[in-house]
């Protein structure tokens, strides 16, 4: 491993956040008590599609403690529809169903009462007359011209459809030695945080400010509240100091928020809505991608892949919102880690009568990576080559960087063969092969899973303009402020909520590194949306790059100010000075110096000693744009998606009980390269945790609907979350190829575990099934599915 040249960055240090959580002092939204707060509960539609003929609320309103019942009709009158990211003006989405319901579980009315208990009693007293209508559940059927349209005025269920073609696809296919085709299916699942979504709002009439506390992780949250409520944005204050109990992409409760804000203002009382688990799973619009991939691969006899044709159909449920864009992000790594010269990508997004899809860790890339990695394994099997060898032959080589992929993104840096080797070493691959074969000989099925994944990081909005040409916004910034007070202590202000990523640790380490001040002494606070600066929130594995980069920028500016003050007072030019832990001395005469404390006194209290024209005090702000920001797509759909590209290799051994089909992960090793590691504990946690999510998606988690449009997995008894029994003690090791684009060479790491694990598990199961002549390309690979492969002809 390369020598760590940093003092604080990359060192094994405790995080700043953990202590408050281990004593139970987190500040989650449900912990916030506002005096006089009312509680909300929702009425859920039992029908996947029905006209709402009448809603009778008298009995509910007569119940003591009930204050109000809100319906979609009232919301439609007073609020604007929630934002759609594509040009689909006839898709109108409100917090509550308007005129018709579009999925079983959709919220039809909301009751506000003195307690959640009373609100739930009142929900049972509300009578809704439904006239059931035809509905559509199957995404392939939803595509057909005769299909019932979820939004009749939109005219069809197709929300997005475009075929991109990058490079000479037809030629590459016609010249190829071989081609093969297969289909993979990724069923609906999501990251399902342990904390449901919650929001509290309060209208302060004296100040005309709408206060919002929410369990949120969402770009443009405040501006969308303002738009929906037709309110100036500076009348809304979102408090970013709320701890979020997990999100991994999904905490985008804009529909919950608009309804709660509307009621808080209307009733003049604080209102809170904390979803219960049923609200969350059935109607929270928090399901993830639901896709099938039809893959065609063109390759030569050595296993070099020339071209890919990908057709992906994604079922976004009833209200698309931002989710169709999840077909866009994979374009930024459409060839994964491989030198594939041309790609055709047909992306189709359809509506069905299911709860809406939302952003999930990786923003659509994990299902895509399963399809890609399956392609590699299939080519190897077809040619009877080793799967590792096929990967090595196709890898983008270390000397190829910066590397331009056909869809227009340049990968910044990487060393894929080295990372794969590290994973194999960690796994003791030769020994693992022996163990697999011993297991097979002893009568169990066993397989080794191998997968790699690209993790584009740095998060911008490039896919917005790519999928919606009328959207020309490219700015996706992050801002940080650093200030030094009159006593010389440092405070950093960040402008977003945190859901476990350790932002306080991140910026304290980076500011500490730049200013050479002890990070533990640096205070990091979360602003609110009025008193802070700007953010696009922690999406797309961007905070190490963006918040870290902005923190570095602000600290550097502050250091420049200190040098300027010192130069003025020591009577030398700035480049003759040396900076050491906040003390600035003349480089050639270290006896002439000013301490941190002295510089602070000058800046804050002794204006007479300040350089002419310089602002007093010590503070700086830095607003960072994504390093690759500011570009729009070409007409043929090429674009620089994200700036930085992390990489992981996963190797796992899985055994399967022949009698039950139950898989057990016996060994799991991951090697990763996210450039410079800022805090090793946090990086490791992201990798283990992401992989655990991936294990869930691979084997257990599925939001299943029956033919009648009813969601079958509404509780944790049906939607299975991996426990410590299902997740093995994963091992990890790192490699560092710094990014040339970031402040300290860091790249993102929040998603890679989740991008690699499902592909690795699919690879392991298919390796186990291979001797039985079977393949299984549907995730989750349920125990029964695996059993059928092993036991049915």
Partner 1 sequence: MSNHDIKIKVNGVVRTGTVSARTTLADFLREDCRLTGTHIGCEHGICGACSVEYDGQPVRSCLMYAVQADGHEVTTVEGLSDKDGKLSALQDAFCDTHALQCGFCTPAMLISAQSLLNETLKPTDEQIREALSANICRCTGYVQIFQAVRLAAERLRSGKEKVAS
Q: Which residues bind partner 1 (CB under 8 A)?
A: 14-15, 17-26, 28, 30-31, 33, 117, 191-196, 243-248, 276-277, 499-502, 681-682, 684-693, 715-717, 721, 723-725, 727, 729-730, 753
Overall residue count recorded for the chain in this entry? 793
List the single partner that 753 binds among ligand FES, partner 1, none, CB under 5 to 8 Å by kind: partner 1
- Work out how close the CB of 372 gets to partner 1 at its nearest, in angstroms, rounded to a whole number: 23
User: What phi, psi does 625 have (nearest 5°)?
Assistant: -90, 150
Nearer to partner 1, 19 or 175 (CB): 19
Residues 287 and 701: beta-carbon distance below 8 Å: no
Cβ atoms within 10 Å of 29's Cβ, excluding its own: 26
- Work out how close the CB of 258 gets to partner 1 at its nearest, in angstroms, rounded to a whole number: 24
Nearer to partner 1, 291 or 684 (CB): 684
List the single partner that 501 binds among partner 1, ligand FES, none, CB under 5 to 8 Å by kind: partner 1
Nearer to partner 1, 39 or 187 (CB): 39
In whole angstroms, what is the distance from residue 547 CA to residue 377 CA?
Answer: 38
User: What phi, psi does 76 have (nearest 5°)?
Assistant: -65, -35
DSSP codes, 147-216: SPPSSGGG-SSEEEEEEEEES-HHHHHHH-SEEEEEEEEE-------SS--EEEEEEETTTTEEEEEE--
Q: How far is CA 205 from CA 235, 261, 264, 356, in A?
A: 11, 13, 11, 35
CA-wise closest residue to 408 among 250, 562, 634, 211: 634
In whole angstroms, what is the distance from residue 275 CA to residue 259 CA?
Answer: 13
- Work out how close the CB of 279 gets to partner 1 at its nearest, in angstroms, rounded to a whole number: 11
Task: State which of residues 72, 139, 364, 500 lies at the interface with ligand FES (CB under 6 A).
Answer: 500
List the single partner that 531 binds among ligand FES, partner 1, none, CB under 5 to 8 Å by kind: none
- Work out how close the CB of 276 gets to partner 1 at its nearest, in angstroms, rounded to a whole number: 6
List the single partner that 249 binds among ligand FES, partner 1, none, CB under 5 to 8 Å by kind: none
- Work out how close the CB of 28 gets to ligand FES at its nearest, in angstroms, rounded to a whole number: 11
In whole angstroms, what is the distance from residue 208 CA to residue 268 CA?
Answer: 11
- The C-alpha angle 684, 687, 690, rounded to 5 degrees, equals 145
Q: How far is CA 173 from CA 270, 341, 392, in A?
A: 62, 11, 22
In whole angstroms, what is the distance from residue 148 CA to residue 153 CA?
Answer: 11
List the single partner that 285 binds among ligand FES, partner 1, none, CB under 5 to 8 Å by kind: none
List the single partner that 25 binds among partner 1, ligand FES, none, CB under 5 to 8 Å by kind: partner 1
CA-wise closest residue to 196 among 286, 328, 258: 286
- Work out how close the CB of 524 gets to partner 1 at its nearest, in angstroms, rounded to a whole number: 16
- Work out how close the CB of 724 gets to partner 1 at its nearest, in angstroms, rounded to a whole number: 4
Nearer to ligand FES, 28 or 787 (CB): 28
Q: Which residue is nearest to ligand FES (CB)?
A: 194
Each residue 445-474 as x (binds ligand FES by CB under 6 A) or -, in order, gives ------------------------------
- Work out how close the CB of 539 gets to partner 1 at its nearest, in angstroms, rounded to a whole number: 16
Nearer to partner 1, 18 or 177 (CB): 18
What is the SS3 assignment for 357-412? ECCCCCCCHHHHHHHHHHHHHHHHHHHCCCHHHHHHHHECCHHHCCEECCCCCEEC
Nearer to ligand FES, 246 or 417 (CB): 246
User: What phi, psi does 778 have (nearest 5°)?
Assistant: -120, 125
244-273 residues in contact with ligand FES (CB under 6 A) are 246
- Work out how close the CB of 703 gets to partner 1 at its nearest, in angstroms, rounded to a whole number: 15
675-734 residues in contact with ligand FES (CB under 6 A) are none
- Work out how close the CB of 520 gets to ligand FES at its nearest, in angstroms, rounded to a whole number: 22
Nearer to ligand FES, 500 or 675 (CB): 500
* Token pair for 791: 């036991």
What 8-state DSSP symbol labels residue 86? S
In whole angstroms, what is the distance from residue 511 CA to residue 500 CA?
Answer: 20
List the single partner that 273 binds among partner 1, ligand FES, none, CB under 5 to 8 Å by kind: none
In whole angstroms, what is the distance from residue 648 CA to residue 391 CA?
Answer: 13
Nearer to ligand FES, 246 or 738 (CB): 246
List the single partner that 727 binds among partner 1, ligand FES, none, CB under 5 to 8 Å by kind: partner 1
- Work out how close the CB of 239 gets to ligand FES at its nearest, in angstroms, rounded to a whole number: 20
- Work out how close the CB of 202 gets to partner 1 at its nearest, in angstroms, rounded to a whole number: 18
- Work out how close the CB of 686 gets to ligand FES at its nearest, in angstroms, rounded to a whole number: 12
- The C-alpha angle 138, 764, 749, rounded to 5 degrees, equals 80
- Work out how close the CB of 15 gets to partner 1 at its nearest, in angstroms, rounded to a whole number: 6
CA-wise closest residue to 255 among 113, 98, 139, 122: 98
155-194 residues in contact with ligand FES (CB under 6 A) are 194
Nearer to partner 1, 12 or 77 (CB): 12
In whole angstroms, what is the distance from residue 145 CA to residue 149 CA?
Answer: 9
Nearer to ligand FES, 248 or 647 (CB): 248
- Work out how close the CB of 627 gets to partner 1 at its nearest, in angstroms, rounded to a whole number: 26
CA-wise closest residue to 218 among 244, 192, 237: 244
Nearer to ligand FES, 279 or 767 (CB): 279
- Work out how close the CB of 695 gets to ligand FES at its nearest, in angstroms, rounded to a whole number: 15
194-223 residues in contact with ligand FES (CB under 6 A) are 194
Helix (H, G, I), strand (E, B) or coil at 748: coil
Would you count residue 573 as binding ligand FES (CB under 6 A)? Answer: no
Nearer to ligand FES, 277 or 311 (CB): 277
Nearer to partner 1, 724 or 792 (CB): 724
CA dihedral angle for residue 382, residue 384, residue 388, residue 394, rounded to 10 degrees: -50
User: What phi, psi does 565 have (nearest 5°)?
Assistant: -65, -40
The answer to whether the bond into 402 is cis (omega within 30° of 0) is: yes
List the single partner that 17 binds among ligand FES, partner 1, none, CB under 5 to 8 Å by kind: partner 1
List the single partner that 317 binds among partner 1, ligand FES, none, CB under 5 to 8 Å by kind: none
Nearer to ligand FES, 18 or 177 (CB): 18
List the single partner that 492 binds among partner 1, ligand FES, none, CB under 5 to 8 Å by kind: none
- The C-alpha angle 628, 312, 164, rounded to 5 degrees, equals 50
Nearer to ligand FES, 45 or 499 (CB): 499
Residues 327 and 399: beta-carbon distance below 8 Å: no
Please, which residues have CB within 8 angstroms of residue 287's CB and are 6 or more apart in sequence?
188, 189, 190, 317, 354, 355, 356, 357, 358, 703
Residues 17 and 86: beta-carbon distance below 8 Å: no
141-160 residues in contact with ligand FES (CB under 6 A) are none
Nearer to ligand FES, 249 or 532 (CB): 249
Using CB under 6 A as the binding criterion, the count of chain residues that bind ligand FES stands at 3
Nearer to ligand FES, 328 or 500 (CB): 500
- Work out how close the CB of 266 gets to ligand FES at its nearest, in angstroms, rounded to a whole number: 32
- Burial letters 238-250, b for 16+ CB under 10 A, else e: bbbebbbbbbbbb
The helix, strand and coil proportions of the chain, stated in percent and rounded to the nearest 5, come to 30, 25, 40
Residues that bind ligand FES (CB under 6 A): 194, 246, 500
């Amino acid at each position: 491993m390369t020598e760590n040249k940093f003092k604080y960055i990359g060192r094994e240090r405790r995080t700043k956040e953990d202590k408050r959580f281990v004593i139970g002092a987190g500040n989650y939204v449900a912990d916030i008590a506002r005096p006089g707060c009312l509680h909300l509960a929702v009425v859920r539609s039992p029908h996947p599609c029905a006209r709402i003929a009448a809603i009778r609320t008298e009995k509910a309103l007569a119940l003591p403690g009930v204050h109000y019942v809100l319906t979609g009709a009232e919301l439609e009158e007073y609020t604007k529809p929630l934002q759609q990211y594509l040009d689909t003006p006839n898709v109108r989405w409100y917090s509550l169903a308007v005129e018709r319901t579009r999925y079983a579980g959709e919220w039809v009315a909301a009751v506000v009462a003195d307690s959640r208990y009373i609100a739930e009693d009142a929900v049972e007293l509300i009578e809704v007359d439904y006239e059931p209508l035809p509905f559509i559940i199957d995404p392939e059927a939803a595509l057909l011209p005769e299909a019932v349209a979820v939004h009749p005025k939109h005219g069809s269920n197709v929300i997005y459809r475009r075929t991109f073609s990058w490079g000479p696809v037809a030629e590459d296919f016609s010249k190829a030695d071989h081609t093969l085709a297969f289909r993979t299916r990724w069923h609906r699942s999501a990251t399902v945080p342990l904390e449901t979504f919650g929001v509290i709002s309060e209208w302060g009439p004296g100040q005309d400010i709408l206060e919002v506390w929410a369990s949120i992780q969402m770009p443009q949250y405040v501006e969308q509240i303002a738009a929906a409520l037709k309110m100036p944005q500076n009348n809304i204050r979102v408090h970013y100091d709320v701890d979020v109990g997990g999100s991994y992409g999904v905490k985008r409760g804009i529909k919950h928020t608009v309804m709660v804000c509307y009621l808080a203002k209307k009733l003049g009382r604080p209102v809170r809505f904390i979803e219960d688990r049923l609200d969350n799973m059935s109607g929270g619009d928090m399901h993830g991608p639901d896709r099938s991939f039809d893959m065609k691969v063109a390759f030569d006899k050595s296993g070099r892949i020339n071209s890919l044709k990908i057709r992906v159909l994604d079922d976004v449920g009833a209200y698309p919102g931002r989710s169709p864009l999840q077909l866009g992000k994979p374009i930024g790594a459409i060839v994964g880690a491989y030198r594939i010269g041309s790609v055709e990508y047909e992306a189709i997004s359809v509506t069905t009568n299911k709860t809406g899809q939302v952003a999930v860790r990786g923003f659509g890339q994990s299902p895509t990576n399963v399809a890609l990695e399956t392609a590699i394994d299939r080519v190897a099997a077809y040619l009877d080559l080793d799967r590792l060898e096929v990967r090595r032959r196709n890898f983008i080589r270390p000397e190829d960087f910066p590397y331009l992929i056909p869809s227009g993104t340049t990968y910044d840096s990487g060393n894929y063969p080295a990372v794969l080797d590290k994973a194999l070493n960690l796994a003791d691959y030769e020994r693992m092969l022996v163990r697999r074969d011993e297991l097979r000989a002893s009568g169990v099925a066993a397989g080794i899973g191998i997968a790699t994944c690209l993790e584009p990081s740095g998060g911008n909005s490039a896919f917005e303009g790519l999928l919606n040409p009328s959207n020309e916004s490219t700015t996706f910034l992050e801002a940080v402020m650093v200030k030094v007070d009159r006593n010389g202590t440092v405070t950093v202000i960040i402008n977003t909520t945190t859901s476990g990523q350790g932002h306080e640790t991140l910026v304290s380490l980076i500011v500490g590194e730049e200013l050479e001040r002890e990070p533990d002494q640096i205070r990091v606070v979360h602003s609110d949306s009025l008193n802070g600066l700007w953010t696009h929130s922690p999406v797309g594995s961007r905070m190490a790059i963006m918040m870290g980069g902005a923190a570095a920028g602000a600290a550097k500016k502050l250091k420049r100010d200190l040098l300027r003050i010192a130069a003025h007072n020591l009577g030398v030019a700035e480049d003759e000075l040396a900076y050491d832990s906040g003390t600035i001395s003349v480089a050639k005469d270290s006896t002439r110096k000013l301490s941190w404390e002295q510089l602070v006194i000058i800046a804050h209290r002794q204006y007479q000693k300040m350089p002419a024209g310089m602002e007093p005090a010590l503070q700086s702000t830095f607003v960072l744009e994504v390093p690759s920001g500011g570009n729009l797509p070409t007409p043929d759909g090429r674009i620089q998606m994200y700036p930085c590209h992390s990489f992981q290799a996963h190797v796992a051994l899985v055994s399967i009980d022949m009698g039950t089909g139950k898989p057990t992960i016996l060994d799991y090793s991951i090697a990763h390269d996210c450039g410079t590691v800022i805090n090793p504990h946090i990086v490791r946690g992201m990798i283990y945790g992401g992989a655990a999510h991936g294990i869930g998606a691979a084997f257990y988690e599925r939001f299943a609907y029956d033919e009648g449009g009813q969601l079958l997995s509404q509780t944790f008894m049906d939607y299975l979350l991996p426990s410590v029994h299902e997740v093995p003690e994963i091992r990890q090791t790192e490699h560092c190829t710094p990014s040339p684009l970031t402040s300290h060479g860091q790249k993102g790491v929040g998603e890679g575990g989740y991008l690699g694990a499902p592909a690795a598990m699919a690879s392991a199961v298919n390796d186990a099934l291979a001797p039985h002549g079977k393949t299984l390309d549907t995730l989750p690979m349920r125990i029964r599915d695996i059993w059928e492969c092993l036991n049915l002809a």
